[in-house]
Chain A
């Protein structure tokens, strides 16, 4: 073992520049993969937050509402009754859930609570500022227009939001970002694989005397490959650590430092737990990226 470690040391110092460039390429590509995965986690989280079941949000009038259907001020009990009956009778509605003003206030406290400005806004808000609302689940999520046009004209209804419509652009943007990150990372992954195989070819050339003697005296393939595998393993672990640090920085500065703060009212944002899961995946990917080409290339160049 001592012997193999010494071999590793001398090989690393010989391949210093190659190893550094490999580590740089690999960590950048891993950071991009990590961002792609984090965006994916964000998309899932957003979908979950608004609920997949939830296609329409019907908000009733409050005293402050200004739309034409809110002339009478806050929705009266009769108006509430009429809207609920309309929803019950509509064949496209599967079910709906009533959220009281207090419950809406609670939900707002959670999203607003993510940032300082949100917390300040909360100080002047009370449950009276929030309407009663109905979260409607449709039988077919695409068929929301019938219900929308029927309910939106009713007295006492301030607004009807299709959350799919509202969040569509966000999801599209996130999706594009995700694929851009993953696509760019694929190019870098290719570069990393080529660099691994280049490094091995150079090392194999630099060590050709040792390797030919090893073969003649009957060293096992395992013994011949081990220094190469350890070198790649080390590069992979360093890259994975750098990528994890990059992701941690992103999560800390961008997600916690900006998104949760400035865009907290919009949706809930990914947390450390999700970032750590992503780091696990990129570490696994780093190991595969380094070890698989190493195994293939050592077989090819060392003739073991």
Chain B
């Protein structure tokens, strides 16, 4: 589903590469934790999957497409197959839960009927049934992040990318969110989650890829967080 083929990335004006000869593959339906200190290259890894950046060397394949060769007008099509969740939720505060989730479909040109058909089941999946008319400000942090997950998943992407999704949540709420991501993963959706949350990684026992200085220093099938920050 995602393949990095000897990928390096050096940002303009910087000497040290952000990623240095990364070579790995993430299969369809896998759940992967991406760990490592700040500046280890996690964000660059995610940005390459979203084709926000292009590699300086090597090739990146996402959902069967080589992203270097993807012309810019095809990038939106790629991104429709990759849902994204952020640490800071990034909800639209002046729109209700329903409108926030529907927004993701409206802007890719889905009709009202199509949206109305998938909206209730998506809210149910993330455990927000009955809260569709609330505004983000009226929800707890955990609930807001669930809205963000609903928005990322409502179009049924093949890949879900989560960048520190529990970073702003308390431990108990984080566990709930991880259960949700696990449920999404069981629908054959590949999940890639960058995190600093050691207890969650240790609990889930999923594949762990640790980056350090732009290189993979550990890649374990049922790994633990395993490094001291």
Contacts and interface: CB of A to CB of B under 8 A. Distances in A.
A218 B90 contact: no
A219 B90 contact: no
A216 B75 CA distance: 10
Interface stretch (B36-44, B100-108, B175-183, B218-226): B100-108
* Interface range on chain A (Cβ under 8 Å from partner): 10 to 19
Contacts of A212: 90
B87 to A, nearest CB: 14
A209 B92 contact: yes
B100 to A, nearest CB: 9
A300 interface: no
Interface residues of B, number: 24
B76 A220 contact: yes
A219 B104 CA distance: 8
A218 B80 contact: yes
Tell which of B75, B76, B92, B107 has the most Cβ of chain A within 10 Å.
Answer: B107
Interface in A179-227: 209-210, 212-221, 223-224
A3 B73 CA distance: 22
A223 B109 CA distance: 8
Give the secondary structure class of A's interface: helix
Nearest to A212: B90
Interface in B62-82: 73, 75-82
A94 B55 CA distance: 78
A218 B51 CA distance: 11
Interface string B140-174: 00000000000110010000000000000000000
Given A217-B151, A218-B78, A223 B84 contact: no
A64 B78 CA distance: 92
23 contacts: A3-B107, A210-B92, A213-B90, A213-B103, A213-B107, A213-B151, A214-B107, A217-B79, A217-B83, A217-B108, A218-B75, A218-B78, A218-B80, A218-B82, A219-B108, A220-B73, A220-B76, A220-B108, A220-B109, A221-B73, A221-B76, A223-B108, A223-B109
Given A213-B107, A218-B77, 20 more contacts: A3-B106, A212-B90, A213-B92, A213-B104, A215-B79, A216-B50, A216-B84, A217-B84, A217-B108, A217-B155, A218-B76, A218-B78, A218-B82, A218-B108, A219-B107, A219-B108, A220-B73, A220-B76, A220-B108, A223-B107
Interface of B: 50, 73, 75-84, 90, 92, 103-104, 106-109, 112, 151-152, 155
